[in-house]
Amino acid sequence: MVEKASILIEALPYIRRFYHKTVVIKYGGHAMVADELKESFAQDIVLMKYIGINPIVVHGGGPQINEMLARIGKKSDFRAGMRVTDEETMDIVEMVLAGKLNKEIVTLINRHGGQAVGLSGKDGRLLQARKLQFYHSPGNNEPPELIDIGLVGEVDKVNVEILRIFEQSHLIPVIAPVGAGENGETYNINADLVAGEIAGAIEAAKLVLMTDVSGVLDAKGQLISSMTLDEAAEALRDGTLRGGMIPKVQCAVDAVNAGVGKVHIVDGRLPHAILLEMFTDAGIGTEIRK
């Protein structure tokens, strides 16, 4: 019993520090698949709201989109790691993200005592989007080439007014990363990018990016527990980072530069990963700070 009390006392200064502050969480990877991890994620989000922290959830869904495309016999096409999104694929992406997955997450949070509301970026013009200009470098000192990957977008503007309403209420927004363009066209947007743009627009206290790895690793494969902006920028330049960690760290750098207090890249395969990062002295994963 004393040990349990000590855990609560350890969390107290963090609860006090983030009381009435907003934390944006990008939810994705294995944490969206394993039942135990889905349950612990929902519990973490509900607990945050009940102790006075305002969570905003942005979710991905790449594997689920691939599964649905395979079901209808449509092949997933990628260019340099980016999904080529034609109109038919965009329909499936929107159906999976803004429909099935979004409502599953809302229901899960509500079942654990929260009051979640599902949104896509198209609701209330929350995310105004534009077509992503995607350049790929073929190497061998050849200049980068512009590749048309279809209805893949980036965030042009965030409607902060809607998010402020949620901050002042008991509701928890759960956002699917789909946005609308100037002429009403629908765009598929990377969930990390959406979470970073939202966090920067409202100058959130924290941005938490859930992944399927322990965090940012150095050249020897050891976890880097903390990085400054300069150290993160150097890791992006010198080749320390590989694969999917590159856009995550770039997203973190952009978010901190936009006014986010800290960004945490955490291992979503651990139960209660969010609480372990936010409310313990040791923390987990990698923090990126000014």
Which CATH number, 3.10.520.10, 3.40.1110.10, 3.40.50.300, 3.40.1160.10, labels domain 21-289? Answer: 3.40.1160.10
Task: Note whether 155 and 90 are within 8 A (CB).
Answer: no
User: How does 62-82 read in b/e, with b if 16+ C-beta sit within 10 Å?
Assistant: bebbbebbeeeeeeeeeeeeb
Task: Note whether 128 and 159 are within 8 A (CB).
Answer: yes
Tens digit of pLDDT at every position of the chain (290 positions): 788 888 888 889 989 999 999 999 999 988 998 899 999 999 999 999 999 999 999 999 988 999 999 999 998 888 766 788 999 999 999 999 999 999 999 999 999 999 999 999 999 999 999 999 877 666 667 777 788 889 999 999 999 999 999 999 999 999 999 999 999 999 999 999 999 999 999 999 999 999 998 899 888 888 999 999 999 988 888 878 877 788 889 899 999 999 999 999 999 999 999 998 888 877 789 999 98
Task: Note whether 46 and 114 are within 8 A (CB).
Answer: yes
